[in-house]
């Protein structure tokens, strides 16, 4: 695999099985926004105490970490701030382009 972000349909067991076992789940509750993304990412990534809960600091900590694979389930999120989610995805893409990590799997609801 040679891209930063993959979209996986929740009902596709073959595709779900393609997510690396080492992928760290970023838990999101009912609302996906900057606050929930950064808080969850910092927790699962064991970011250092100097993490400033902003996008620049997230990029710094991601690229300094050993995290290679992330996954996020958005199939049951009730409200997504698309602007914040797009910024997060750009951070992942930029980090991947510069350092070859991390890769992100986004699990989405089926269109059925």
74-108: b or e for each residue (b if 16 or more CB lie within 10 Å)?
eeebeeebeebbeebeebbeebbeeeebbbbbbbe
Mind listing the domains of the chain with CATH numbers? 5-108 (3.30.370.10)
pTM (predicted TM-score): 0.90
Q: pLDDT at position 111, please?
A: 62
Q: What is the pLDDT of residues 37-82, one digit of tens each?
A: 999 999 999 999 999 999 999 999 999 999 999 999 998 899 999 9
CA pair distance 62, 80, nearest whole angstrom = 22
C-beta of residue 28 within 8 angstroms of C-beta of residue 44: no
Q: Angle 83-5-101 (CA atoms, 0-180°, nearest 5)?
A: 110
Tokens of 14: 């073959």
Mean pLDDT across the stretch 11-16? 68
């Amino acid at each position: 695999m040679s891209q930063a972000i993959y979209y996986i349909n929740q009902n596709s067991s073959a595709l779900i099985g393609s997510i690396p076992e080492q992928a760290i789940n970023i838990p999101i509750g009912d609302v996906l926004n900057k606050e929930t993304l950064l808080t969850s990412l910092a927790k699962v990534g064991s970011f250092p105490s100097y993490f400033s809960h902003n996008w620049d600091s997230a990029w710094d900590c991601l690229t300094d970490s050993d995290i290679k694979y992330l996954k996020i389930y958005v199939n049951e999120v009730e409200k997504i701030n698309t602007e914040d989610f797009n910024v997060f995805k750009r951070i992942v893409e930029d980090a991947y382009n510069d350092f070859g990590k991390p890769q992100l799997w986004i699990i989405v609801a089926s269109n059925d």
